[in-house]
Amino acid sequence: MDFYSHIYEQDTEIYEALVGEDKREADGLELIPSENYVSRAVKEAMASSLTNKYSEGYPGKRYYGGQEFTDKVEVLAIDRAKRLFNAVYANVQPLGGANANIAMYFALLEPGDTILGMDLSHGGHLTHGHPVTYLTKIFNFVRYKMKDIETGEIDYDQMRKTAKEIKPKIVLAGYSAYPRELDYAKFVDIAREVGAVAVMDIAHIAGLIAGGAAKNPFDYGFDLMTTTTHKTLRGPRGGMILTRDSEDLAKRIDKTLFPGLQGGPHMHQIAAKAVSFKEALQPSFKTYASQVVANAAAMADVYKAGNVRMITGGTSNHLILADVYGSLGVTGDEAEKLLDEAGITLNKNMIANDPRRPMDPSGIRFGTPAMTTRGLTEADSRRVAELMLEVLTKKTPPPRAKEEVIAIARAHPIHERF
């Protein structure tokens, strides 16, 4: 436990919590689709001296001295991000995905302007206009939905009709609980027809895009993308904004983020982003990204064979949304707790048109980014899915389920590969 030797000396309570979390991660199977395991190199950058430094501004234009190394770090992060996503501009300072989306709205809109985004209950994100967010006090969000929950097809005709009526300034694609690819060309067509900026929130699938296992929305004409860096992209917790070709948009984003919204950038986090982007530029990351998708498909096969309803009928990306209440009579909350007891972590989730409540919905959401990092393949993924269904069907996790989970986890150490 060398990594924590100083914490051990001076703060036993935090030391115990850190060691406990390390053990939980090592011995459990992490299926929350927005989580991953960073490399040791990314962790080292997060723990570096750059956490001490204030660097308000941007490379070459800072408000504080001593920026010789911070500038180097931020320029490298920006260059690598641009290469990963074929972008002309990247701002790597957003502290998280929500911050990136908030900056994007303030850069592109005036108060009262309208955004057309995906409904949360159909897969969208809180920051895409859910009424509980303060964003809805400032901007006018109108939401689109799926036409067919069983296939995941978006109602593009209705979207076009709505867009013509409400004249949004932003047509927003992207999601946090949608298992299919979107028809990007249709989004861009609709945005162009009404003079809106086409924005895609790629937070969940950034790693799949970077690794070539999902389409790049920039190839279809999207103007701007926001993302987190810690999900499929496997970097540190954080956010980022990218543009395809507009210098003007880029300048507006820079100014809005700082000094408009944030203070000093977290330079240790930016160094860690740079390290993870270099990892994602390697050929091995392509193998990783396609394995994430193959593993999710293998799990969906088992759910399908077990007659468990999946929203959109399965998956084309890294995540699955299963209607466990409708199919197995166990609520999302019960399922989350039962699986937790067996050492499998995932999250309860509302499904489209859910008759239940957010704290105890009908669904569970799970995915493969973290377990694929550990080296699990399709056969392991099928076995994990079978174990999940066994636990959910019996409604009491048999002790051997937890033993098997621990055995699978220990056979695939988190940092064996990098």
Q: Which stretches of the chain bind ligand DSN, using CB under 6 A?
A: 34, 97, 125, 176
Our CB check for ligand DSN shows the closer of 125 and 348 to be 125
Residue nearest to ligand DSN as judged by C-beta position: 34
CB 177 → ligand DSN: shortest distance, Å? 7
Known catalytic membership, residue 378: no
Catalytic residue among 4, 15, 54, 58: 54
**DSSP string covering 304-353, please?**
HHTT--BGGGS-SSSEEEEEHHHHHS--HHHHHHHHHHTTEE-EEE--TT
Judged by beta carbon, residue 127 or residue 295, the one nearer ligand DSN is 127
Catalytic residue among 237, 244, 309, 365: 237
Closest CA to 393 of 342, 348, 357, 355: 342
Is 151 marked active-site?
A: no
DSSP 368: S
Is 124 annotated as ligand-binding?
A: yes
Catalytic residue (choose from 56, 71, 301, 390): 56
**Which of 70, 133, 227, 228 is the catalytic position?**
228
Distance CA 128, CA 173 (A): 9
Task: Write out the two tokens for 270.
Answer: 């930016």
- Residue 113: Cβ-neighbour burial (10 angstroms; 0-12, 13-18, 19+): middle
CB of 112 to ligand DSN, least distance (A): 26
83 alpha-carbon distance from chain centroid: 20
Nearest residue (CB) to ligand DSN, 34 versus 39: 34
Nearer to ligand DSN, 97 or 152 (CB): 97
Closest distance of CB 245 from ligand DSN, Å: 28
- Whichever of 182 and 190 has its CB closer to ligand DSN, that residue is 182
Is 126 annotated among the ligand-binding residues? yes
- In whole angstroms, the minimum distance from the beta carbon of 361 to ligand DSN comes to 14
Tokens of 15: 């030391």
Q: Is 268 flagged in the annotation as binding? A: no
Handedness of CA 387, 389, 394, 396 (dihedral sign): positive
144 is catalytic: no
Catalytic residue flag (residue 64) = no
Answer yes or no: 54 catalytic: yes
Q: Is 82 a catalytic residue?
A: no
Distance CA 58, CA 63 (A): 9
Pairing of strands 57-58, 61-62: antiparallel
**What sign does the dihedral 151-365-225-256 (CA atoms) show?**
positive
Is 224 annotated in a binding site? The answer is no
Among residues 80, 169, 231, 402, the one annotated as catalytic is 231
The residues annotated as belonging to the active site are 54, 56, 201, 228, 231, 237
Residues annotated in a binding site for (6S)-5,6,7,8-tetrahydrofolate: 120, 124-126, 247
